[in-house]
Amino acid sequence: MDEMVTVTVRLLDKEYRIGCPSHERDALLASAQYVNGKMREIRDRGRVLGTERVAILAALNIAHELLQNGGQIECQRREVKAQTESLLTRIEKTLAEL
């Protein structure tokens, strides 16, 4: 079982202590850095007041990005599948002609 560690992350100049498995420490720090960047973008636009609202908007933006990327991945998966099936058909046809 992986050892649990406590990691301190900073979001909008406020520190949060979060427990996670030691092998996920770097991923947690990278995630926190990404979220902090998104929160700063929203805060720096100056239209949103309050850390809670900034956090909610950042979460919604990140979820939107995730869903868009998931859709792009699915589209790419379908394209690869179609190309693979086409290649298999061509290979089978060529083998049948031998």
CATH of the domain at 76: 3.30.160.880
Question: How does DSSP classify residue 50?
Answer: S
**Structure tokens belonging to residue 33:** 């850095």
Domain encompassing residue 49: 4-97
Share of the chain above pLDDT 90, in %: 53
Cα separation, 42 vs 48, whole angstroms: 7
Question: CB of 18 within 8 A of CB of 29?
Answer: no
Q: pLDDT tens for residues 9-47? A: 999 989 999 999 999 999 999 999 999 999 999 999 887
Stated pTM of the model: 0.69
Q: How many structural domains is the chain composed of?
A: 1
Q: What pLDDT is stored for residue 37 in this prediction?
A: 95
3-state secondary structure (DSSP) of residue 37: helix
- When the pLDDT of each residue in the chain is averaged and rounded to a whole number, the result is 89
Q: What integer is the mean pLDDT of 69-75?
A: 79
Question: Does position 70 have pLDDT exceeding 90, yes or no?
Answer: no
